Structure 1
Amino acid sequence: MSAIQLTPPAIDPASLGKVAVLFGGTSAERDVSIMSGTGVLKALQDAGVNAFAFDPAQRPLHELQAEGVDRCFIALHGRGGEDGTLQGALELLGVPYTGSGVMASSIAMDKIMTKRIWRFEGLPTPDWRMVSSAEECAQALAVLGAPMIVKPAREGSSIGLTKVTDVAQCAAAYAAAAQHDPEVLCEQFIDGEETTCPVLIVDGVAQALPVIRIQAPDGNYDYNNKYFTDDVRYLCPSGLPADEEAEIQRQVVRAFNTLGCRGWARADVMIRKSDRQPFLLEINTSPGMTSHSLVPMSAQVAGLPYAQLCIHLLASASLDSRR
């Protein structure tokens, strides 16, 4: 599979109707969501779309009906926006929305459930244990080996994530993750190169966009480096051998389809240094759209500028009940 070259779609902005860009929300990723939504809103308005901002943390969702909204662009991240709950509410309101539906959103938000399904389907993902105490975290380290990643099962943007190298660190790592979610994931660390690959529905088919290779300072691709510094290098084109890029794209599309995703998503993949085996880490069904975000970067390389990407995604808004 090779990366596609996209032709910006010819879509009449007026045909998209009245649009609510949903951003803000109540999750731990509120600040990032505000950055994403602000960018999307400006792009849509500049393109002539009748779009306005809507923060579910400040207004009840039923006001979307009173506003006469025709469709929603979801720029919310994390719980309450990316986990199927918002999607379910919009289904009941009958307002089409961007991205995956209720089931796929819910599953993809839960890293443990995602890994269970991927493993069952034969997709490569690092070994893991779900733990409910610091003691179980230490037991997982004995099984998985050091280093080990400890993180909340249902958070994004590396929030609550710790890289553990010694059993003495397990208690603090567990506490940091459990602060955000009672379900804590301990995951085998894959030593190698970090990449990410977006997926976009084009003409009804899931297509992989160009792979991005991520080079963070000391390999520390944390919340601050993701959004608030310019110290991370993003290589797109990735510079990977063509067969490696194609394999990552193939696995990412399979991962997307296996969970029943729609619209768009972005999957994170590690390439193990020892044998160049790719491993799927997680999939984001409402990826970031900030100035540091990766889907716009990859889409630009594929020939789809930011504003046109926003229009394309908005035009794909739909409902589970009308598929």
Structure 2
Amino acid sequence: MGNSAGRPAVTDKLHIAVLMGGWANEREVSLMSGNGVADALESRGHRITRIDMDRDVAARIAEAAPDVVFNALHGVPGEDGTVQGMLELMDVPYTHSGVATSVIAIDKQLTKQALVPHGVPMPGGRIVKSEELFERDPLPRPYVLKPVNEGSSVGVAIVTEDSNVGNPIVRGAAGPWQEFAELLAEPFIKGRELTTAVIDSAHGTRALGVTELIIEHGFYDYEHKYTEGRTQHVCPADIPSEIAALCEEYAIRAHKVLGCRGTSRTDYRWDEEAGEDGLFVLETNTQPGMTPLSLVPEQAKHAGIEYPELCEMIVLEALRVHGKKTEDADG
């Protein structure tokens, strides 16, 4: 099996290792993503090796000797450049973004530094030591506190005037300040939750649409993302066409500036009272979830791409990119 350069052709049935699980906070979600992807790719006729990542993952991948790795990990170390660097050293093609992109995109402050100069609006804010929070508020309330390099809204807290955490925050109050030495403090942006998925193919990069996330109580945190029935997805979002167009424009710009590959998802808050000036990018996720509740498969389906085809598109893009890197190195 393969072409003249020794790489599988796009029409070949592939041996794909699906890397999932691991030990991050998002382990269970990664297992759901990974098993969903594995089932979908098997339905397309590919041979699948499922790997629940442990410390021996390099040896297990080497033993399996797949044509390509589908990286279905979420969080550290699968999304922060660590696993990507390992796969680069092994010269194994893998899905989603590369080392440098992963390092930057998982760090919310680095992401701001990369995107804002390229015209992508993001909230202001600064890094604070958690110890400082017990002395004074870093920003006027309401404000948001979040870990600098976690995904899926893990550890996010909104501090309001009537928060039960005290003013200033009481050291014993439950919150991310008990888990992380440093946090990113941002102004709270009122309004609606929107998100846009982007996908790459040999034909170029395109946005798949805009979804609004409607939450009855609270905000779009980890629990709301992955608990069925906690969040209503409106796809396509019922928003003005100019806002939808801006969402797609910013998502593609973020994808390209950061150097994302395969697929990404950019999340927004939109204050509709401020119109176009009220749209702010919160983050770009380089390895968005692929669970049954996930947003990328949902938007892809609305765009006419069924889930198994979406998974295969991501795999074929990984092979295309790896083949180009090989050709460039040989050339």
Fold equivalence (TM over 0.5): yes
| Map of 2:202 onto structure 1 | 203
Query: What CA distance in whole angstroms lies between the structure 1 residues aligned with 2:34 and 2:177?
Result: 28
| Cα offset, 1:16, TM superposition | 4.8
Query: What CA distance in whole angstroms lies between the structure 1 residues aligned with 2:218 and 2:200?
Result: 31
| Map of 2:60 onto structure 1 | 63
| Map of 1:3 onto structure 2 | none
| Map of 1:152 onto structure 2 | 147
Residue type matched to 2:241 in 1? Answer: A
Residues 1:83 and 2:65 aligned together: no
| Map of 1:5 onto structure 2 | none
| Cα offset, 1:246, TM superposition | 0.4
Residue type matched to 2:23 in 1? Answer: T
Query: What CA distance in whole angstroms lies between the structure 2 residues aligned with 1:251 and 1:93?
Result: 34
Contact 1:152 1:180 in 2 (8 A): no
- Taking the TM superposition and a 5 Å limit, the aligned residue runs for 1:217-296 are 217-276=216-275, 277-296=278-297
- Taking the TM superposition and a 5 Å limit, the aligned residue runs for 1:1-323 are 15-57=12-54, 59-136=56-133, 139=136, 141=138, 143=139, 145-166=140-161, 168=167, 170-171=169-170, 176-276=175-275, 277-317=278-318, 318-319=321-322, 321-322=325-326
SS of alignment partner, residue 100 of structure 1? coil
Contact 1:134 1:174 in 2 (8 A): no
Query: What CA distance in whole angstroms lies between the structure 2 residues aligned with 1:77 and 1:250?
Result: 25
| Map of 1:7 onto structure 2 | none
Query: What CA distance in whole angstroms lies between the structure 1 residues aligned with 2:113 and 2:288?
Result: 22
Distance 1:174 1:154, change over 3 A: farther
SS of alignment partner, residue 26 of structure 1? coil
Give TM-score, length-normalised by structure 2: 0.87
Give TM-score, length-normalised by structure 1: 0.89
| Cα offset, 1:109, TM superposition | 0.5
1:290-320 per-residue CA deviation (whole Å, 9 max, x = no partner) reads 1110000000000001111001011111449
Distance 1:216 1:62, change over 3 A: same
Distance 1:171 1:114, change over 3 A: farther
Query: What CA distance in whole angstroms lies between the structure 2 residues aligned with 1:173 and 1:221?
Result: 25
1:116-158 per-residue CA deviation (whole Å, 9 max, x = no partner) reads 22222232001111011332576554x3x22111110111122
Q: Which ranges in structure 1 are unaligned for 5 or more consecutive residues?
A: 1-10
Q: Which ranges in structure 2 are unaligned for 5 or more consecutive residues?
A: 1-7
Query: What CA distance in whole angstroms lies between the structure 1 residues aligned with 2:210 and 2:103?
Result: 25
SS of alignment partner, residue 61 of structure 1? helix
Distance 1:173 1:101, change over 3 A: farther
Query: What CA distance in whole angstroms lies between the structure 1 residues aligned with 2:122 and 2:70?
Result: 30
| Cα offset, 1:87, TM superposition | 0.4
| Cα offset, 1:180, TM superposition | 4.7
Query: What CA distance in whole angstroms lies between the structure 1 residues aligned with 2:185 and 2:66?
Result: 42
SS of alignment partner, residue 288 of structure 1? coil
Contact 1:91 1:321 in 2 (8 A): no
Query: What CA distance in whole angstroms lies between the structure 1 residues aligned with 2:151 and 2:286?
Result: 11
Count of paired positions: 311
Residue type matched to 1:106 in 2? Answer: V
Residue type matched to 1:159 in 2? Answer: V
| Cα offset, 1:255, TM superposition | 1.1
Query: What CA distance in whole angstroms lies between the structure 2 residues aligned with 1:22 and 1:165?
Result: 40
Runs of 4+ in 1 over 6 A off after TM superposition: 11-14
Superposed CA RMSD: 2.3
